[in-house]
Structure formats: structure tokens, C-alpha cells
Structure 1
């Protein structure tokens, strides 16, 4: 299957509230939708999140990377062959988001060509457990948000954003636990906020407060310090920001890493699959996807609750129907051709 045509669409979707990340405060999200069409007329697509503090790209720079570098390189590559595409990309440095978009779009194209949903092609399940991400705020506000999301959608796992200071993080965990009860599992993601020398004490304290996973408690590297931290802290360290390639995964696995965050929205499905093979515990991490990105990325198999519910924060979507979450689970589409789920009128309405 060779590339016959492609299109790139940018749109902005408003949030229902202000969202505080570790490196940005937002009231909306900007997205890129890449559509590829093969010479046989089969379509595949993927969504990318455009945040300068996350992906380091703008709409113009992503457009240029795809138009000038990535897509010309894949023009004569068989898009149905993951190995051939990977070999092509290995000759192109940088451009992680652009390559990831093309890679994921090729996976949805292969599913459409095979006339089976992507989750089945990847030997996954038709439904996935999701968790809700409780972003930074005052502990009482975080507790209210946690209770509302668990009550409304039935989430059984919460990802609590830490990094507001140890005292505040512990207060937030206590308030959330009181609000949702003891049956909801709590992960804590500090977004590398604490010094490495303080990480062990921090992880032990959040574990005592009920956390079962600690994601990026400090700046991590696959070294002796990480190995000592994972060995001593008692709960899995979920490696996220510093594991974006198979090579990173191999180095962390050699140092005893027990869990890793997969972000196909950041690096593509193929690289995420290769990373996942090296760990027993894997989580689909948040990349602030809309419902469209969620429907694509959630089809990648993982073992922990997927952090793919952020689309609920948005007031508008570019898919129809909008996916529903019940009892903390997302039913994945049976439709092999994901492009048929896109509301192209909404894409145009929200275009930049």
C-alpha cells in the first residue's frame, strides 16, 4: 500500500474549565489530524496534541516537517509493512511527533485494509479500564473533582497530579481518599517536581497515604540512583518523561524498572508497542487527547488503567458519536475505518 494522498487539519477544542499542568495553564487544546489515503483508496488517520511545552512544535512547524521531510520520505514505502516504515524513519533524526502521527495513521490504515478494528489487529480487548486525571488545584477542589468523576463515570482508578509540595500532595491524597473511599486505586504523578535526593522519602510517604504507583517523582535516568530508588521504595515507579524510545526502555529495564508509560500520541503506536514488550506493567499515559485521539490510542493494549479520559474535559469533539464511559470502562469501536467516525463538519467549525 503506497501513499496516494494526505491532508492535515488543525483545530482548537475548548475545555469546560481551566486546566493546570506542571508547565502550562490552559482553557483549550490545539490538535492536528493527519489523514493518509492509499492508492487503493483506504484511509488511516491519527491525532496529535500541539503544545509547545510538550511536543515542542507549532502547527506551522509540524506542517513543514510533514510536507518537506516525512511524507516525501515515505512516498514509495509500503505503508502496510511496519518494518519498512520503521526502517524509513530510522534514517530521519528528530521530528518525533510528525513521525508518530504518520506511524499511527498507518496502523489505522492497516486495520481498515484488513477490515477489522485496530484493537483486534493488535490482539487487544474490545473494552479498556480508564482512570481519571485529577489535575493540580487546592486539595479540597481536587477531592471534589475526584468524587464527581468517580460518581459520574464509575472510575476505579485516579491519577493524582502531585508536585505542589510534599505537604500539599499529602493533603490532596488524604482529601481524595476521604471523598472516594478505599476501593479506588490512586496513582501519583509528580511530573519530576522533587529533587532526586528527596524522591525515596516522597515515594514512601505517598505510598503510606495509599498510592500504589509513583510516576516521575523526580527527574529520572536509567542509572544506579534509579535502580536504588525502585529497589527501596516499595511500589512501582512508573517511568514516563524520560522513556520515549526502545533504547530508553532497554536501559530502564536493565536497571530494574517495573512499569512504563506508553504514549502513542507522542511517539506513535509502533514505538509504544516495542517499549511495552519489555515491561510487565504498562499504562497508556495522558497526552491530552480529544475523543478522536482517545479512540485511536486506547486500542493499544496495556496492563494498567489507561489515562485516556481527558476528552471529558472538553466542551466539543470532532467525532460522532462521542464515546461513553460507563463503570470506568471505554468500549472501543468495532468500526475498522476510524475515518468514518470523524465529524468533518466539526473539524471545519473548530479549525484554526
Structure 2
């Protein structure tokens, strides 16, 4: 099966629930949509959501990388040579990981459709389903509790709480959440680089009784490796996010003393399913746990991340809520979300269909 045409377009999505994290506020997002049509009439879909604050890839750079005239080399390519094309994407777009991810997942979608299999089955399923967390941004205590109650009513039981503006206020919010929800919820926290390394043990000691599952990227990238001085039990419950972009970062994070015990793979950081699973293999061999996260993304790329996550034995955590607050999307299908648990559909490929 060969690629007959490549089409790209940009979509602007408003968020139904704007939010704040340690370093910015968000009320809308720009995604780039890719459609690869095969000579057999199949269409492989991909989506890019560049995050310049994390990877340095601006929307302008992503759009430039995805110009249709720049992608003419894909026309006539045999989709069955998937690994070759994924390596070529890395060579041609070394500084545009979200653009690479969009093309990578569209190629994976096409090949899995050709085989008549859901992508996760083509990759080798390791899990049937997993619960996803849903995120509460930096808000007041009252707003945090209202949002948590709404999510509980919708069936979610894993809450990820954004921190990083004020440690004292963060601790107050977490205590209020635990008092209000009791043991009904699993609590994860994400400071988005908002704390200093020498403050981490203060946070750990102050929240020890709150049963926090893990802490994501608590300190800036420049100070992340200083976390290697923390007690082993603390480091094992720290997840690397902004400190993990690509495979070389995963390798470095293995050097003793390891600063973390969990790696957060995002397709928009690493460049797609192919690269994400290479990182997953590194984590599995090293005995690290995996979390699969996302930006604010179309269901296209959220579905791709879910298929990849369920194909890795090292996957323990999902944070794939990035399409839930979009005011609209361009596709339907892709996954089934029930009571906060995600699983893929039985459709071939990614299982997503464009909305007419």
C-alpha cells in the first residue's frame, strides 16, 4: 500500500475550561491535522499540538514542517516500510517533534488499517485498559473542590492537581481535597517546574499523610538531576516530564543516582508512536514505570497515545485527558472512556473518523 496524497490543515480549538499551570494560562489551542490517503482509499490521520515552552517548537515551526510541498517525499512511499519512514521523519524534522508525531501516527494508522487491526494489536497489546487521571489547574480551594466533585460525578477516580505558584497554598488545596473526597480518589500532583530542589523534602514531609501517588516534574529542568540527592523512596515517586523529551534524555535519566522512578512519555515531545515505544523499551529494561501524558490535543493524537501506552508492559499510569476540554473536535471514535477508564475500540488503525 502506497501513499497517494498528503493533506494538512490547522484547527483552532477553544477550551471549555481554561486553566492555569505554574508558568502560563491556557484558554485555546492550535492543532495541525494531517491526512495521508493511500492508493487503496484508506486515510491515516495525525494531529500535532506543539508546545514551545517545553520543546521549543512553535506553532509557526510546526506549520512550516507540515507544509504540503515539504511532504511531497511521502507520496509514493510504501506504508509497509514504516520504520524506515519514521527514521526519515527524524532526519528531516529534527526540531519539530509535534510535526513528526502527526505524520508518525498517520503512518501507523494507515499500516494498521492495511492489516485490519487496531493499532495496539499491531504493536502488541500489553494491557486491556487503564484509568486516566483528569487534571485540575491552579485554582482556589473552593474552585478545586467544586471541580473535583464534578469529576467524581463523571466517574473519574484519579485526579492530577497542578501546583507551583505557592507551596503553602498548594498544600492547603491538597489537604482540603483529601478531607472532602477521602479515599474515593487517587491524588497525583504536577508542579510543572514550579518548586526549587531544596524545597522538595518540605513538600514531601508536609503531605506525607495525604497518600499522594507521585509528583510530576517538581523542579526546573536545570535542577532536575539534583533530585538524585533525595532519599530513594522519594525519588521513586517522582516523574520526569519536561526533563524527558527524547531517547537520549531517557538514557541520561538512568545514570545513578537516578532523579526519578517514572518517565512521562508524550508523543508531542518525543516525535510519535515509534519514538515513544523506543523510550518505553528503555524504561522497561531499566525497571522504570511509565506514564503516558499529553498536551491539549485532538482525539486523534490522544487515541494514538492510548494505543501506544497499552502496548508497553512498563505502562502504569495514563494522563490522557487532553481532548476532554476541547469545545469541539474534528474526529469521533478512537477510544472508549467509561468511569475514568480508557480502552481502545475494535476498529482498525487508530479507530478515529473525521466528522463531516
Q: Compute the TM-score of the two structures, normalised by the length of structure 1.
A: 0.87
Report the equivalent of 1:6: 6
Deviates further, 202-211 or 276-285: 202-211
Partner of 2:265: 262
Task: Give the equivalent residue in structure 1 for 2:16.
Answer: 16
Q: How far is 1:324 from its partner?
A: 5.4
Residue 202 of structure 2: aligned partner: 201
- 1:94-142 Cα offsets, whole Å, 9 max, x none, are 2222222211211111111111111222223443311111111112211
Residue-by-residue CA offset, 1:138-175 (whole Å, 9 max, x unaligned): 122112211210222x2221111110211011011111
Match of 1:33 in 2: 33
Q: Which runs of 5+ in 2 are unaligned?
A: none
Deviation track 1:67-107 (CA, whole Å, cap 9, x = no partner) reads: 37862454565433343124323433322222222112111
**Equivalents in 2 of 1:243, 1:321: separation in Å?**
30
Give the match's secondary structure for 1:334. coil
Query: Against the structure 1 CA distance between its residues 246 and 259, is the aligned structure 2 distance closer, same or farther, given a 3 Å change threshold?
Result: same
Q: CA RMSD in A?
A: 2.7
Structure 1 residue matching 2:282: 3-state secondary structure: coil
Equivalent residues of 2:54, 2:242 under 8 A apart: no
- Cα distance in 2, alignment partners of residues 223 and 173 from structure 1: 23
- What does residue range 142-291 of structure 1 map to in structure 2 within 5 Å? 142-152=144-154, 154-220=155-221, 225-229=226-230, 231=232, 233=234, 235-255=236-256, 256=258, 257-266=260-269, 267-279=271-283, 280-291=288-299
Aligned partner of 1:105 in structure 2 is 106
Q: How does 1:294-333 map to 2 (within 5 A)?
A: 294-301=302-309, 303-320=315-332, 325-333=337-345
Give the structure-2-normalised TM-score. 0.86
Question: How many correspondences in the alignment?
Answer: 343
Q: Secondary structure of 1:193's match? A: coil
Report the Cα offset of residue 202 of structure 1.
2.6
Residue 349 of structure 1: aligned partner = none
Offset, 1:191: 0.4
SS at match of 1:299: helix
The SS at the match of 1:20 is: strand
Helix, strand or coil at the partner of 1:298: helix
Q: Secondary structure at the match of 1:313?
A: coil
Please state how far the C-alpha of 1:198 moved relative to its aligned partner: 2.1
SS of match in other structure, 2:220: coil
Instruction: Tell me if the contact between 2:111 and 2:349 (Cα under 8 Å) persists in the aligned partners.
Output: no
